[in-house]
Every structure is written in C-alpha cells, then in structure tokens.
Structure 1
Amino acid sequence: MPQPTILIVDDNPENLTLLGELLRERYKVRAANSGPRALQLAVLAPMPDLILLDIMMPGMSGFEVLEQLRSESLTRDIPVIITTAMSGTDDEQHGLVLGAVDYLTKPLKPAIVLARVHTHLELKRARDRLQRDNASLEAEIARRMRENQVIQDVTIRALARLAETRDNETGNHILRTQEYVETLARRACGHPRFATALDEHAIALIAKSAPLHDIGKVGIPDQVLLKPGKLTPDEWEVMKTHARLGAEAIARAVEDTHEPVEFLAYARQIALHHHERWDGSGYPDALAGDAIPLAARLMALADVFDALISRRVYKAPMTPAEAMAIMTEQRGRHFDPDLLDIFLAGIDDFCAIARRYPDEAAQELPAGQRRAA
C-alpha cells in the first residue's frame, strides 16, 4: 500500500519544518507557505490524502482556501484539519461548517497531531474503500440489469415470432409495428391529450409490449388461422378470440410471477384491445373512445398501417398513399382522431421504418383463394 500524502499549509517556516519532520517518517509530505500555493499543490498527482491548513495567513486566509477546496470536484473530498493559534469557538465552528474534519490549536502537540492524522487517514481509507465497493456493486447491478433486459427482450421476441410462425404474416411485422408504436407515442407525447400518459417510462414499456399484440394466435386452430380463403362467419368468430386468448395468457403469466410486472400490464391491454374501434364497433369488448386503453389505440394504428402496406399470400401490398387514404376515411370510426392526425403528419417516419425492415416476397394465391384482409 503506497504511503499517504499529506499537504501542510502554513506561512510560518518554523511550523512547516516542525510538521514536516514530525510526519515525514510515516508519510509523504508536501509543504505550501501560502493559500494560492496550497491550491496548486492540492491538485497535483498524487493528490493529498489529508491537508493540515493554517487559518491565519496573509493574502488568502485558510478559510478562503478551504472554501475553494470544497468548491472544486477534484478536491472537495480531501479531509482538512485546521491548525491555528486562535482559540475562539466561533472560528472553530466556522471551519467545521466550511467542511473541515477537525481542529488543532497551536502550539501543536506532536502526539496529538500524529493521532489525529492517523485517525482521519484511516477514515478516508475506509470511505474510499466503501466508494470503490459501491461503484463496483453499482456496475455489477447495472450489468445484471442489462443482461436481464436482453433476456426479457429476447423472450418477448421469441414468443412473438412463435405466434407469427402459425400465421400468414412474415417475420419483420413485429419489428416494424414495435417501431411504429414507439415513434407514434413519441410524436403523440407533445399533444395535450396524451402528454401525461406518455412519459419516457411509459413509452418504453408500451414499445416493449407491442410485439406481444397477436400472441393469442397460437390458440387459434390451424384450419382457421391458416385458411387462405375468406373466413366464414363462424370461423371469424373463432379468429376474434385470439385477442382474449392473448390477454388471458399474459394475465396468467403475471399471476405465476406472484408480483406485478409493469410492462405486462401494457402487453395485456394491447393484446386484448388492439382490435377495438373508436366508434365502438370493434372487438372483443366493443369499447369506444377513450375507454380503449391508449396503448391499444397506438397499436391499432401501427397494426392496420402495416397490414395495408405489406404483401400477404392473400393480397398485394398497398402504397403508403393508398393506405393513408383508407385510414383517413376511418378517422373517428376505427381510429382515435387525434392519434390518426399525428400518425399521418409523420408518415415519412413510418415509411422509413417499413423500408428498414422489409419482408421477403410472399407468393400470391390465385384470386379465388385469397382471404379478405
């Protein structure tokens, strides 16, 4: 362990010599005969582990030196022991208020000086060790949190892709819709209707939840889910159950954890209600207007836009302009009017996302076998 470094500050040469000879056997010693020189030496490597600071000095007093030491990030944590011939309690109190750790009255007694120096160096060593341990612990906690975050995200993506393997949609749908939802939420957070609900934390959780919107499709029978042609009314009723199936699966997952998982609350809202419509004509609960959770309203816009511009085995893709025209017709019917306006105003951003995550071309079925979108 390296020897501690002590900075002695005193305008009296005899005091500097006395303290230097006393301390040099055990410590590395630096000496300054003025306040400005003390401030220069205090920031030189290796920085002092302790400062013995005289108060009564011409030009710059010890109190002024102490104030400057405490005002700089490099030196604010160096322990300072005041040494002075003044015996007034007001001066002692003033020094301690400014941040001194101790107070020695002249004439100095060698045994007391050595004892106080040793005590405060030990305290500093313990404090430094605690800070190092805390920093190491915080770094390990951060590493594990990042690792858990990656595991969580991978699990979500894996579950979402598992649902898609049973559907006619292609893999990048979940990547596109997730980014659509996050981008739309960030644009919407500046609107007075949505600002309170869409802070940074909520946006992150909603975006994390978005890939699970169709997780319930794993519970739909193959003859319905994979049917290439138009569904019968009975088959359509079965298809619509995927919303509730997904929400129930997420709710059971939360119950199994025995404690609330914040992002899964949004995931359940999205899975259950992203097919609701602003006018109340959607499913499964025929919710209308603001009764539809905001996360589900965001997802509805993302999901419909992606379905319209994407190729499926049962339909050709639409152009963004065609998709915009159809969605505009649904303002106040399928979609929250304000959210739709925000979406259309940022259409270039959403088209850029679609280009960033293209799908492989899907083979079209003959017209008679195509299912209505």
Structure 2
Amino acid sequence: MDKATILVVDDTPANIDILVGILGPDYRVKVAIDGPRALLQAAKSSPDLILLDVMMPGMNGYEVCKQLKQDPLTSHIPVIFVTALTEVADETQGFELGAVDYITKPVSAPVVKARVKTHLALYDQKRLLEQEVKARTKELEQTRFEIIRRLGRAAEYKDNETGLHVVRMSHYARLLAIESGLPAQYCELIYNAAPMHDIGKIGTPDSILKKPDKLNEDEWIEMQRHAEIGAEILGEHSDPLLEMARRIAISHHEKWDGSGYPHGLAGTDIPLEGRIIAIADVFDALTSIRPYKKAWSVEETVALIESESGKHFDPELVVHFKQVVDEAIKIRDSYGENT
C-alpha cells in the first residue's frame, strides 16, 4: 500500500526537522517554508494531509488555510494547525477557517502520530463514501435516462413510427447543440431529454394517429394537443432533465415565424431546445421510410430545411445544421431500420 503524503509547512527549519523525524518512518513527507510555497505544493502534489504553522512572516497560517479551502483543487485536504498559540480564540479562528485539528508546540511525538493517523483514516473514509455516492448517483442517473428513453419509444410505437426514430433524432439534437457551441452539460441534457418530445401522443386517440388519410380540422386540432398533453405528463420539476423534456414537449412544434402550435411563439421566445428538436425531428422524419411515404434523400431534406429557414426554423441553427449533415448521415446509417 502506498504511503500517505504529508505536507509540513513551517518557517523554522528546526520545527520541520522534528516533524519529519516523527512522521518520516510512516509517511511520505514534503515540506514548505512559507505560505506561497505551501499553496504551490498543495496544488501540485495534492497531499493527503497538511500540518500548518500559524505564525509565519508574510502570509500566516490562517491566510494559507483560507486560500486552501477556497481553491477547488485543495479544499478537500484536511489541515491540522501546529502552533504555540493556545488561546481559545486562536483555535476557534482555525476551526472556522476549515482546519480539522490543533496541535500545540512543543509537539509530542505520540500526539502528532495519533492525530495524523486519526485524520488520515477519517479522510480515507470520507473519500470512500464520496466514491460510493458518486457510483450510486451514476447508477440512478442511468436508470432515469433509460426510463425516459423507454417512455419515448413507447410514444413512437403508438404512432406510425419506430423506436429508432427517437434514438436518431436524439443524436441529431446533440450534434446540432455541440456545433452551436453550447456547453457540454447542455448537449448531454438535450440528448437525454429529446426522446420525450412526443410523449404526449400517448394521449392521442389511435383513430387519429393511425388514420391513413388526411386529418380533418377537428382531428388536426386533437392531434395538436399532444404537445400540451406531453407537458402535462412530464409536469413541472426542479430536475433539469425533466424540466428540459417538458419544454421540448410543449415547444418542438412552434415555428420561428410564429405559425406553429400550441402557443404560436416566434423567434427566440421559443425555447432553444425546442428549436433544436424541431430541426432534428423533421430531418429524421423526412429521411426515414414511413407507412405513408418514401424516404426523402438527404439533399431534398436539407433543401427543404434551408427553404424553411426564418419560417419554420431558427436561421442560425439551420446554418449550424448544414455543417454537421455528414455526421448526421453516419448516425442515420448506424441506426437505420434494418441495423
């Protein structure tokens, strides 16, 4: 098992020698003779624990501890103050800054060894717990994502479409989001929320969804309700994924010029994710075979999307989409109906 690394910070060489002599046989000990060097060492080597003198010229130990705790790279490292200051107020200040313990000078070897051993054990337990929490959280997120995908596919199977539609258009949406320069977290969020775009079709009568002929006016009005039904199914949540899925469900049939439904939103009043899904959804619908139509060629589909720039689609997103058409074709071929 690798030895734990201890960083000893003190401006007096004799004090450093004492602590190195106490800890050296059991730990890998590094030293720093002032605050700035201590901060550099901590950021560079990420020690498992820091023994920090308080009374140092220039930057004292309190300031060093404060900066360590403010830096995400070092905030997790336990700090033990080693000092001749014994007043309660001094100890209180140290604990308020984030220190885990106090050792008074002159130091006692058994005390130093016991305190260091105890806090390293606590630190190891904390790290193990954090790893377990992260692993469990990841499992829960994967389960949640899979449920969302399955519900999205359920909606597609109720319609004259296949579950692969939601897979392809989710990839198209992420591709377009990435090309648009959106943050990585947003791109993953839209990828996982996209499958829910037509969840509202669960509430649309089969007689309308599966009607081979053109819908009459009343039927078309009922069909349009799937956007609002989808938003009602998803509800309002503080969870970013479900909230984005709800916005997508309610807005992906809105059009840039305001002629869409259900609210007739226009331009940037339409949520960005709704504008992205609009392009991804249409691209896949047109380039896929359906019981009522043949697949359009990519060239025909891109020409249609270009012609609808500023009408159905966000003009800026159309420009970005044209840049990723080749990648979209690869996705289409990878998730084709016969693959």
Query: How does the TM-score come out when normalised to structure 2?
Result: 0.74
2:183 aligned to which of 183, 199, 208: 199
Native 8 Å contact 2:82 2:105 kept in 1: no
Instruction: Sort the Cα spacing of 1:120 and 1:333 in 2 relative to 1 into closer, same or farther, 3 A.
Output: same
What is the CA-CA distance between 1:47 and the residue it aligns to? 2.9
Give me the whole-angstrom Cα distance separating, in 2, the residues matched to 1:96 and 1:291.
Answer: 52
Aligned length: 290
Question: CA offsets, 1:20-50, max 9 Å, x none?
Answer: xxxxxxxxx979xxxxxxxxx96xx85357x
What is the CA-CA distance between 1:207 and the residue it aligns to? 2.2
Structure 1 SS opposite 2:137: helix
**1:237 pairs with 2:221:** yes
Structure 2 SS opposite 1:162: helix
Question: CA offsets, 1:294-334, max 9 Å, x none?
Answer: 11000000000000100001111011011111111111111
What is the CA-CA distance between 1:345 and the residue it aligns to? 2.0
Give me the whole-angstrom Cα distance separating, in 2, the residues matched to 1:322 and 1:239.
Answer: 26
Structure 2 SS opposite 1:161: helix
**1:223 pairs with 2:224:** no
Partner of 2:148: 156
1:260 aligned to which of 238, 242, 253: 238
Partner of 1:360: 338
Structure 1 SS opposite 2:160: coil
**1:101 pairs with 2:79:** no
Instruction: Sort the Cα spacing of 1:246 and 1:70 in 2 relative to 1 into closer, same or farther, 3 A.
Output: closer
Native 8 Å contact 1:163 1:218 kept in 2: yes
Structure 1 unmatched runs, 5+: 20-28, 32-40, 54-61, 82-90, 104-111, 190-197, 362-373
Give me the whole-angstrom Cα distance separating, in 2, the residues matched to 1:173 and 1:183.
Answer: 15
Structure 2 SS opposite 1:229: coil
- How many percent of aligned residue pairs carry the same amino acid? 36
Native 8 Å contact 1:179 1:353 kept in 2: yes
Give me the whole-angstrom Cα distance separating, in 2, the residues matched to 1:312 and 1:154.
Answer: 25
Structure 1 SS opposite 2:309: coil
Partner of 1:145: 137
Native 8 Å contact 2:256 2:314 kept in 1: yes
Query: How does the TM-score come out when normalised to structure 1?
Result: 0.67
Partner of 2:277: 299
Written as runs of structure 1 = structure 2, the 5 A alignment for 1:105-120 is 116-120=108-112
Written as runs of structure 1 = structure 2, the 5 A alignment for 1:48-59 is none
What is the CA-CA distance between 1:95 and the residue it aligns to? 11
Instruction: Sort the Cα spacing of 1:226 and 1:187 in 2 relative to 1 into closer, same or farther, 3 A.
Output: same
Give me the whole-angstrom Cα distance separating, in 1, the residues matched to 2:240 and 2:211.
Answer: 36
Native 8 Å contact 2:48 2:120 kept in 1: no
What is the CA-CA distance between 1:243 and the residue it aligns to? 0.8
Native 8 Å contact 2:83 2:105 kept in 1: no
Partner of 1:58: none
Partner of 2:127: 135
Structure 2 SS opposite 1:168: coil
Written as runs of structure 1 = structure 2, the 5 A alignment for 1:1-373 is 47=27, 63=33, 71=41, 73=45, 77=49, 79=51, 93=56, 97=60, 101-102=82-83, 116-189=108-181, 198-251=182-235, 254=236, 260-360=238-338
Instruction: Sort the Cα spacing of 1:325 and 1:291 in 2 relative to 1 into closer, same or farther, 3 A.
Output: same
